[in-house]
Amino acid sequence: MTELESRLRAALGTETPPARDALFRLEVLVRRERGRFRRQLALIVSAVFAAAGLVGLNAQALGAWVGADPARFVVVAALAVAAVLAALPGVRTFARRLERWSFA
């Protein structure tokens, strides 16, 4: 081994990486969360567009069906409110706790 190689090996061997790099770990976690958020957002947006497309295609049929009987409007409104409430995180957490408590 030449003198240059030995000096290079000594210079490279002196700087060992830190045992834990908290900033690097944090950046990795942030990158993973951003990716997860983008995937969830893409799924939600595609579901909303699909639902909007279905409603748009069937708007006249839905209007005739709901308009034929006023009680149907109440049922559809109640189902819509239940669907929105079920999507809220706090409601899901409460439902899980209630399920664990009642079926324990």
* pLDDT tens per residue, range 28-61: 999 999 999 999 888 888 888 998 888 888 888 8
CA distance 44 to 55: 16
Q: Kindly state the tokens that stand for 8.
A: 């290079």
Angle at Cα 96 formed by Cα 98 and Cα 83, nearest 5°?
A: 105
Tell whether pTM > 0.75.
no
Q: Could you tell me if 12 and 6 are in contact, meaning their C-beta atoms sit under 8 angstroms apart?
A: no
Q: Could you tell me if 62 and 55 are in contact, meaning their C-beta atoms sit under 8 angstroms apart?
A: yes
Contacts of residue 67, Cβ cutoff 8 Å, sequence gap at least 6? 73
The pLDDT assigned to 35 comes to: 93
**Structural domain boundaries in the chain:** 13-57, 69-104
Residues of the chain above pLDDT 90, percent = 12
Phi-psi region of 27 (alpha: psi -120 to 50; beta: other; left: phi over 0): alpha
CA distance 35 to 29: 10
